[in-house]
Amino acid sequence: MNPTPPVSKQNIIDDFTLKKLYSVQNKTLQKVICYLWLNETNPKQPIDVIDAIELEFNDGSKIALTGNENQEGLTYIEYHFEEQKSMIEKTFEGKIRIFKVEASKTEMWKDTIQQTLKNIRLTKDKASGKYFSDEIILEFENNEKRLIQVHPIDGIILDYYEEI
């Protein structure tokens, strides 16, 4: 069992992100997009991380999540891929590149497509009554569950979620 993380402003979910999450609850997932960063500053050891994940729903709504400034929690972002790609590639002289990858048909997400997102689970800090933003559990109508986490070095981490 993971110990409760210390409460800091960076790992408590902000109200705007919380409202955006609840706005997509009970909607049908249509598409999953991952924004990948490929860091080739050391060509012998390239590093790739998921910078953001975007969930698109059948009514046209979408939500993109990325790590906050300190990578201690997830936060909502309006991801402007072309702008971000251009800025990063120019700033880092092509040694860091961004890719937009549709993940809907991957093993991880294929069973969630065209399924209603029935519940979004967050961990509540008992002392403050606020919700932690380090992980989000998505529960779909077909009982599929996915975990979205953030890590300071590894970026966004996506996984299956199973009750223990």
CB 139 within 8 A of CB 118: yes
Q: Which domain holds residue 130?
A: 10-160
- Residue 70 to residue 67: CA distance in whole angstroms: 7
CB 77 within 8 A of CB 65: yes
Q: Phi first, then psi: what are they for 18, rounded to 5°? A: -60, -45
Residue 164 tokens read as: 């223990």
Q: What is the pTM of this model?
A: 0.88
Number of domains in the chain: 1
- Residue 37 to residue 99: CA distance in whole angstroms: 7
102 within a domain of the structure (yes/no): yes
- Residue 43 to residue 22: CA distance in whole angstroms: 42
Per-residue pLDDT tens digits for 140-163: 999 999 999 999 889 999 999 998
Give the model's pLDDT for residue 146: 98
4 within a domain of the structure (yes/no): no
- Residue 59 to residue 75: CA distance in whole angstroms: 22
1 within a domain of the structure (yes/no): no
Give the model's pLDDT for residue 158: 97
Per-residue pLDDT tens digits for 96-122: 999 999 999 999 999 999 999 999 999
Give the model's pLDDT for residue 136: 97
